[in-house]
Structure 1
Amino acid sequence: MARADPRTWRRLGVAVLAGGLVLAGCAAPAAAGVAAVASTVPDGATGELPSTAALPAATVLTDRDGTPVAYLDEQYRIPVPYSRISSAMVAAIVDVEDRRFFDESGVDPVGTLRALVTDAAGGAVQGGSTITQQYVKNWLVDVADRDDPAAQQDDRADTPARKVREAVLAQRLAHSQSKQDVLAGYLDTVAFSGSVYGVEAAARSWFGTDAAHLTVPQAALLAGTVNNPTLFDPFRHPQAATDRRNTVIAAMRDAGSITPAQAADATAAPLGVRAAGPLVPGHNCYGATDGAGFLCEYAVAQLERAGFTEQQLDTGGYTIRTTLDPAATASAQQAVDANVPRTQDGVANTLALLRPGHDDRQILAMVANRRPGTDAAAGDTTRDLVAAPSNVFGAGSTFKIFTTAAALEAGTVGYDSTLPDPPSACFPGVGSACYPVGNDGTSYPDPISLPDALATSPNTAFVGLEEWTGTDKVVDMARRLGLRDTLASNAAGGTPDPSSPDPRIAEPQSQFYAGLPSFTLGVSPVSTLEMGNVAATLQSDGVWCAPDAVLSVTDRDGAAVPLARPACEQAVAPGIAHTLSAGLGGDTVTGTSAAAARAAGWTRPMIGKTGTTNTSESVAFVGGTGGADGVAGSSMVFADGPDPAEICPGTPVHLGNCGHGAFGGTVAAPPFLAAVAPLLDGRPDVPLPGPDPAYLQARSG
Structure 2
Amino acid sequence: MTSKVRLLAVAVIAGILVAGAAFPLVGGLGLLSNQAIAGAQDTSPGVLGGEMPSITTVTDMNGAPIAYLYDQNRQIVRSEQISVTMKAAIVAIEDRRFFSESGLDPRSIARALVNNGTGGSTQGASTLTEQYVKNYDEYVAAQTPAEQLKATEATFGRKLREARVAEQLDHSLSKDEILTRYLNVVYLGNQSYGVAAAARTYFNTTPDQLTVPQAALLAGMVQSPAAYDPVAHPQAATGRRNVVIDQMRQQGELSPEQAAQAAASPLGVQAPLHGIANGCTGAGDDGFFCSYVLDYLDQAGITPEQLRSGGYTVRTTLDPAAMAAAKQAVDAQVPPTQPHVADTLAVVQPGPTSHPVRALVANRGYGLDAAAGQTTYDLPAEPENLGAGSVYKIFTSAAYLAQGGGIGNVIPVPPNGYASPLTPGFVVSNDGNYPGALTLQDALAQSPNTAFVKLEETTGIAPVVDMAVRMGMTSLADPGADGGASVADTVKAQNQASFTLGVAPTSPLELASVGATLASHGTWCPPDPIQSVTDASGAPVTLPTTACHQAVPPQLADTLMTGMSKDDQPGGTSAAAATAAGWNRPTAAKTGTTQVSESGAFVAATPQMSGASIVFDDSSRPRPICNGRPPTSCSTGNLFGGNTPAQTYYQAMTTILAGQPVLPLPTTDPRFVAGGDRIAVPQEVGQPIDQAAAALRAAGFGVTTSQVDHRSPAGTVVGQTPAGGSGQAVAGQTIALVSSSGHVPAPPPAPAG
* 1:150-189 to 2 correspondences below 5 Å: 150-189=146-185
Distance 1:270 1:356 in 2: 55
* TM-score, with structure 1 as normaliser: 0.90
1:221 matches 2:217: yes
SS in structure 2 of the partner of residue 663 of structure 1: coil
Aligned to 1:668: 645
Matched, 1:475 2:465: yes
Equivalent residues in 2 for 1:265-414, closer than 5 Å = 265-282=261-278, 284-288=279-283, 290-389=284-383, 391-411=384-404, 413-414=405-406
For residues 238-266 of structure 1, the C-alpha deviation after alignment (integer angstroms, 9 at most, x for no partner) is 22222221221122122221122222222
Q: Does the alignment pair 1:569 with 2:564? A: no
Note the C-alpha offset of 1:655.
1.3
- CA spacing shift, 1:117–1:53, aligned 2, 3 Å: closer
1:648 has 2:643 as partner: no
What is residue 616 of structure 1 aligned with on the other side? 597
Residue of structure 1 equivalent to 2:741 = none
1:504-548 residue CA offsets vs partner (Å, 9 max, x unmatched): xx4311112221011110111111101100000000000000000
User: What is the CA distance between 1:292 and its match in structure 2?
Assistant: 1.8
- Is 2:496 the counterpart of 1:511? no
- Structure 2 unaligned segments of length 5 or more: list them: 1-16, 679-727, 729-753
| Structure 1 residue 373: Cα displacement | 2.4
Confirm or deny: 8 A CA contact 1:188 1:199 kept in the other structure: yes
Displacement after TM superposition at 1:559 (Å): 1.7
Paired residue for 2:538? 558
Match of 1:194 among 169, 173, 190: 190
Is the counterpart of residue 455 in structure 1 residue 445 in structure 2? yes
Deviation at 1:323, TM superposition (A): 0.4
| 2: CA distance, partners of 1:63 / 1:643 | 36
1:475-494 aligned at under 5 Å gives the runs: 475-488=465-478
- Gap change, CA 1:582 and 1:218, over 3 Å in 2: same
The 2-side partners of 1:460 and 1:12 are apart by: 93
Report which stretch shifted further, 365-374 or 61-70.
365-374
Match of residue 11 from structure 1: 22
**Aligned pair 1:440/2:431, yes or no?**
yes
Change (3 A) 1:222 1:16: farther
Q: SS state of the match for residue 533, structure 2?
A: strand
Q: 1:211 aligns with which of 204, 207, 220?
A: 207
State the 1:53 CA deviation: 4.5
Aligned partner of 2:746 in structure 1 is none
Does 2:661 correspond to 1:684?
A: yes
In 1, distance between residues paired with 2:626 and 2:125? 72
CA apart distance, 1:112: 0.9
Tell me the SS of whatever aligns to 2:642: helix
Shift of 1:39: 5.9
Q: What does 1:621-632 align with in structure 2 at a 5 Å threshold?
A: 621-625=602-606, 627=607, 630-632=608-610
CA contact (8 A) 1:63 1:324 kept: yes
CA distance in 1, matches of 2:237, 2:81: 25
Query: What is the CA–CA distance in structure 1 between the aligned matches of 2:25 and 2:274, rounded to whole Å?
Result: 45
CA spacing shift, 1:296–1:168, aligned 2, 3 Å: same
Separation (CA, whole Å) in 1 of partners of 2:242 and 2:630: 56
Pairing 1:422–2:403 present: no
| Mapping for residues 585-604 of structure 1, pairs under 5 Å | 585-590=565-570, 591-604=572-585
In angstroms, what is the RMSD of aligned CA positions?
2.2
**Cα distance in structure 2, aligned partners of 1:354 and 1:295:** 12
Task: Tell me which moved more, 612-621 or 304-313.
Answer: 304-313
2:62 equivalent to 1:70: no
* Counterpart position of 2:689: none
Distance in structure 2 (CA, Å) of the matches to 1:51 and 1:70: 31
Mapped partners of 2:430, 2:20: distance in 1: 97
Q: In the superposition, relative to structure 1, how do residues 373 and 453 fare at CA in structure 2: closer, same or farther (>3 Å)?
A: same
Deviations along 1:295-339, whole A, 9 cap, x unmatched? 222222222222223322221111111101110011111111111
Match of residue 525 from structure 1: 505
Deviation at 1:278, TM superposition (A): 3.5
Shift of 1:613: 0.7
Structure 1 residue 405: Cα displacement: 0.3
CA–CA separation in structure 2 for the residues paired with 1:15 and 1:287 = 59
Distance (whole Å) between structure 2 residues aligned to residue 38 and residue 73 of structure 1: 37
Offset, 1:382: 2.4
Tell me, yes or no, if the aligned pair for 2:74 and 2:193 is still in contact at 8 Å.
yes
Residue 13 to residue 238, structure 1, CA distance change in 2 (3 Å)? farther
- Matched residue SS, 2:21: helix
1:660 to partner: Cα distance? 4.7
Amino acid at match of 2:377: R
The amino acid that maps onto 1:467 is: E
* Distance in 2, Cα, partners of 1:383 & 1:191: 34
Candidates 88, 94, 103, aligned match of 1:97 = 94
Q: Distance in 1 between matches of 2:49 and 2:652?
A: 45
Identity of aligned residues (%): 47
Once the two structures are superposed, what CA deviation does each residue of 1:49-86 show, in whole Å capped at 9, x if it has no partner?
21464100111111111101111211111111111100
- Give per-residue Cα distances to partners, 1:615-650, cap 9 Å, x unaligned: 11101110111x1xx110111111111231111222
Any conservation in 2 of the 1:606–1:623 contact (CA below 8 Å)? Answer: yes
Letter in 1 for 2:674: Q
Matched with 1:501 is none
The one of the two structures with greater contact order (alpha-carbon pairs below 8 A, sep at least 6) is 1
In 1, the alpha carbon distance for the partners of 2:554 and 2:180 equals 58
> In 2, Cα distance between the equivalents of 1:192 and 1:351?
42
Q: Which residue of 2 aligns with 1:582?
A: 562
Partner of 2:253: 257
Gaps of at least 5 residues in structure 1 are 1-5, 22-35, 490-494, 499-505
- Does the CA contact (< 8 Å) of 1:342 and 1:370 recur in 2? yes
Alpha-carbon distance change, 14 to 553 in structure 1, aligned in 2, over 3 angstroms:
farther
The answer to whether the 8 A contact 1:58-1:317 is kept is: yes
1:378 Cα deviation from its structure 2 partner: 2.1
Deviations 1:7-61 (A, max 9, x none): 983227669986xx9xxxxxxxxxxxxxx99666353554232146410011111
- Residue deviations 1:278-304, cap 9 Å, x none? 42221x22222x332222222222222
Amino acid of the residue matched to residue 11 of structure 1? A
Please say if residues 411 and 437 of structure 2, whose CA atoms lie closer than 8 Å, have aligned partners that are also in contact: yes
Answer yes or no: is 1:637 the counterpart of 2:629. Answer: no
- Give me the whole-angstrom Cα distance separating, in 2, the residues matched to 1:222 and 1:248: 10
Q: Counterparts of 1:16 and 1:365 in 2: how far apart (Å)?
A: 69
Compared CA separation, residues 139 and 381, structure 1 to 2 (3 A): same
Residue aligning to 2:3: none
Q: Distance in 1 between matches of 2:391 and 2:127?
A: 69
Give the C-alpha shift of residue 150 in structure 1: 2.5
CA contact (8 A) 1:353 1:532 kept: yes
- CA distance 1:10–1:650, change in 2 (3 Å): same
Q: Which amino acid aligns with 2:353?
A: D
Residues 1:534 and 2:527 aligned together: no
- SS of residue in 2 equivalent to 1:424: coil
**Matched-pair contact (CA < 8 Å) for 2:68–2:276:** no
Provide TM-score, normalisation by structure 2: 0.84
SS of match in other structure, 2:547? coil
Q: Does 1:41 align with 2:52?
A: no
Distance in structure 2 (CA, Å) of the matches to 1:112 and 1:428 = 90
